[in-house]
Amino acid sequence: MKAIRRFTVHTVLPEALTSLEELATNLRWSWHHPTRQLFASIEPAVWDEIGHDPVGLLGAVEPARLQELASDQGFVDRANSLRDDLHAYLHNPRWYQSLTDAPESIAYFSPEFGIAAALPQYSGGLGILAGDHLKSASDLGVPIIGVGLFYRAGYFRQAISREGWQQETYPVLDPDGLPLSVLRNPDGTAVIVTLALPEGRALSARIWVVAVGRIKLLLLDTDIPENEETLRSVTDRLYGGGGEHRLLQELLLGIGGVRAIKAFTELTSAPVPEVFHTNEGHAGFLGLERISDLIGAGLSFDEALQVVRAGTVFTTHTPVPAGIDRFEASLITRYFSTDLLPGVALDEVLTLGAENYAGGTPDTFNMAVMGLRLGQRANGVSKLHGDVSRGMFGKLWPDFDQDDVPITSVTNGVHAPTWTDPLLLELASDRLGTTETTTADWNSPSVTDADLWRVRGDMRQQLVTDARNRVSAAWQEENPGVGDPAYINTLLDPSILTIGFARRVPTYKRLTLMLHDEDRLRSLLLHPTRPIQIVIAGKSHPADDEGKALIQKLVEFASGVDVRHRIVFLPNYDIAMAQLLYPGTDVWLNNPLRPLEACGTSGMKAALNGSLNLSILDGWWAEFYDKENGWAIPTADSAGDGAERDKLEADAMYDLIEHQIAPRFYDRNEDDVPTRWVASIRHTLSTLSQPLSADRMVQEYVNRLYIPAAHAEHAISADSYQPARDLSEWKERVRAAWPSVQVTHVESGGVDAVPQVGDSLHVRALVELGRLNPEDIKVEVVYGRAKEGDRLAGIQRQSLTFASREPGQPAVFTGTVTLQRPGSFGYNVRVVPSSDLLATPAELGLIAVAH
């Protein structure tokens, strides 16, 4: 019989154990190993059963056990010591507090956050990245306020049918059983934010507050009595529903999120954010809410836009147009022809998201395009992805070279304390005297090859045990009351070379590339002396039947009687599985279609545990592969078609496994230790741990984006926003005059008939300014190696100095370029707008070039 209603009954802790509640309700426990050990010691079997969730644990432990612990002075002292350690962590200065002139507060918006398995508010890499961003910000003392939505059913729970088809269920979460608290007014009532909707309706949401170490994460929830029934389900599922449902979620995230921050900062006296970071386009409407507020303070739309742009950072995570949310303009028109945003005109909204550029789709509203137009600073998430993004969005700056498109890159990182296995932490502590694995000296003789190999074997054994348990549980769910098949007890072998592959399952990630030649794969799995085994996991979007078909194909192969002990698909990929899967694999496989992997952080998490990577040179691997930390699968870019490309790349993958990877793994010394393999483990831990950490990533965001954005916001807001008014007027004047701007003539001299390194090239450029002044522009010599078709490569720039301007004549600009390298040389002269309030010369998308 099923319950018609469920809720969580909270335990009453003995007075001596009140510290446990404080420890359980701050998600620092999700990455603080001593705190997790404390909770595990309360009732180990229950701890494992409820998925390592302290709140769930305290609700499941019998009162008698709690009384027993309350009488155990050693346990009480241990709990109180950890509570005191948490207090020190929350209040003592950290890295960020050593900085000068840094913003007091930063808002970070994301549609999903993957922090702990106990709070399933994520679908994949974007959410895990957002969770890691908050955790590292907490560790570094960065004053972030996170904003997201609270999804009652999370993403979905995945099961695999007997036919191998993905099946989705949506277990409803009880927020009272989660580490959340409601943001309340002084009178105890819940704070509600409300959005005006068409037809006179309104969408309301309460605000859950999550403590993520030092960070507060605000999650908006529409399942409240104030909403009519259809609107209570707006935050039902992550990425669920059709276009209008998705739009409602994104309106709530962006507009409602800014209103939630206002309420939170007013009630708690927390500093108001100076910088707003939009993690993907889903939260882009936050800029419009801020513009509306500024219009209410007396600014025009365009003046307010300058202020919002100055303090906004936009991060794009997708390398494919299909990954961008786009809405019909008519739907946007319907929702913004309301009182939703006072003072903001509909046509101004539509213009921000319009694809009004070559190749764009008319009557379409593009969330990423709006994000770029609302953010003065933008970035991709790896060096390669930054370049891909500059090409993908370059039509917004049509006359600029791709390298000049104002999108930089900050390569993602992963939160080492979350993703480093406790066994490796213990090794570092025992042998090296530190639990800071990213800075430990992994080349120290204090850690022997045998030590490393033993720990790697223990992590592999953990994965094998977990995989068997998961397959057994899935079998019991599909076949209740029927005993496990005998083969489950022999599923995988902790002594065999183990390859991992786990990620979302869109077609471009090529889940089934390994099946391209099934006989070849079978021979690798069943090799008599150098066998391999593969552990696979991943979810396909519920609406993606192509992705589901890939899973089905893989499950069918893995079900073969001859190979089912060597290859397994684990259902319901989540944080809890991942924390054993990454460390337990010897090799992490990634084979997307280059360059469609923006970053690919799963391989980073594996590397932090000493796993080696086998990957296409895409995402982060393209910038970190060094021939010792793993293997690169050659990319067959020049293949005639997709099928030929798949064949060439699959064959290369098989060859690497058979002829390089497996021999190195099985080549052992007299102590059965593969010394050459262990050398690669040491190298990986020593050279990748710190660069791949989220601490490095967050520090980059702070230094390269947050601090400059805060300075820009301060500058443009000074004197009651007078600089914003001036910049708006200046931009309008420059745009109106720009058609008259041109380089009319370029002269050069100073170079002998045979130019040599060290010679000086003197350049004199005549520039027609129209109604502009010399200080409105920057004139530059752009020079580099001249390639085929006179295209310049290795570009450098040298500003020219204003020399003179006679009435009615072009202005004269002069300068000198020193020839610093031999070989072909070419140059040109360009003119761009110039203002101290611009972040890049390309900001206005205006350029004039000599012809």
Quickly list DSSP for 768-803: E-TT--GGGEEEEEEEEEE-GGG-EEEEEEEEPEEE
> What is the pLDDT, as a whole number, of residue 1?
60
The one-letter code for the residue type at 332 is I
Q: What is the mean pLDDT of residues 743-761?
A: 88
Q: What span, in angstroms and rounded, lies between the C-alpha atoms of 751 and 762?
A: 8
> What is the pLDDT, as a whole number, of residue 320?
82
Q: What is the mean pLDDT of residues 88-106?
A: 97
> What is the pLDDT, as a whole number, of residue 5?
60
- Backbone φ and ψ for 818, nearest 5 degrees, come out as -90, 130
Task: Quote the Cα angle for 627-632-638, to 5°.
Answer: 135
pLDDT digits (tens, 9 = 90+) for 155-170: 999 999 999 999 999 9
- pLDDT of 8 > 70? The answer is no
pLDDT band at residue 9 using 50, 70 and 90 as cut-offs = low
Give residues with Cβ within 8 angstroms of 629, minimum separation 6.
607, 612, 613, 680, 683, 684, 687, 688
Q: Which two tokens stand for residue 121?
A: 């508010």
Q: What is the mean pLDDT of residues 267-278?
A: 98
Better-scored residue on pLDDT, 320 or 93: 93
Whole-angstrom CA distances from 726 to 299, 308, 715, 731 are: 12, 15, 12, 9
pLDDT digits (tens, 9 = 90+) for 103-148: 999 999 999 999 999 999 999 899 999 999 999 999 999 999 999 9
Q: What span, in angstroms and rounded, lies between the C-alpha atoms of 661 and 649?
A: 16
Task: Quote the Cα angle for 121-335-265, to 5°.
Answer: 50
> What is the pLDDT, as a whole number, of residue 637?
84
pLDDT band at residue 294 using 50, 70 and 90 as cut-offs = very high
- pLDDT of 531 > 90? The answer is yes
- pLDDT of 378 > 90? The answer is yes
Q: What span, in angstroms and rounded, lies between the C-alpha atoms of 385 and 323?
A: 14
Q: Return the minimum-mean-pLDDT range out of 8-12, 538-542, 823-827, 833-837.
A: 8-12
> What is the pLDDT, as a whole number, of residue 754?
81
> What is the pLDDT, as a whole number, of residue 166?
96
Q: What is the mean pLDDT of residues 75-102?
A: 98
Q: What is the mean pLDDT of residues 568-573?
A: 96
Q: What span, in angstroms and rounded, lies between the C-alpha atoms of 491 and 92?
A: 48
pLDDT digits (tens, 9 = 90+) for 759-799: 999 999 999 999 999 999 999 999 999 888 888 888 999 99
> What is the pLDDT, as a whole number, of residue 2?
63
> What is the pLDDT, as a whole number, of residue 752?
72
Q: Report CA Rg, the chain.
A: 29
Coil, strand or helix: which one is 652? helix
Where do the H-state alpha helices sit in 160-272? 229-232, 243-251, 257-268
Alpha carbon distance, N-terminus to C-terminus of the chain: 80
The answer to whether the beta carbons of residues 795 and 782 sit under 8 Å apart is yes
Omega within 30 of 0 (cis) for the link into 674: no
The one-letter code for the residue type at 224 is I
Q: What is the DSSP string of 601-633?
A: THHHHHHTTTPEEEEES-TTHHHH--SSSEEEE
Q: What is the mean pLDDT of residues 363-389?
A: 97
- Backbone φ and ψ for 455, nearest 5 degrees, come out as -65, -40
Pairing between β-strand 742-749 and β-strand 760-768 as defined by DSSP bridges: antiparallel
Q: What is the mean pLDDT of residues 342-371?
A: 97
Q: What is the mean pLDDT of residues 529-541?
A: 97
Residue of 115, 690, 697 whose CA lies nearest to 418: 115
> What is the pLDDT, as a whole number, of residue 3?
65
pLDDT band at residue 548 using 50, 70 and 90 as cut-offs = very high
Q: What is the mean pLDDT of residues 426-437?
A: 96
Q: What span, in angstroms and rounded, lies between the C-alpha atoms of 217 and 207?
A: 10
- pLDDT of 638 > 90? The answer is no
The whole-chain average pLDDT of the chain stands at 95
> What is the pLDDT, as a whole number, of residue 479?
87
- pLDDT of 816 > 70? The answer is yes
Q: What span, in angstroms and rounded, lies between the C-alpha atoms of 632 and 656?
A: 9
Q: What is the mean pLDDT of residues 588-610?
A: 96
pLDDT band at residue 811 using 50, 70 and 90 as cut-offs = very high
> What is the pLDDT, as a whole number, of residue 176?
87
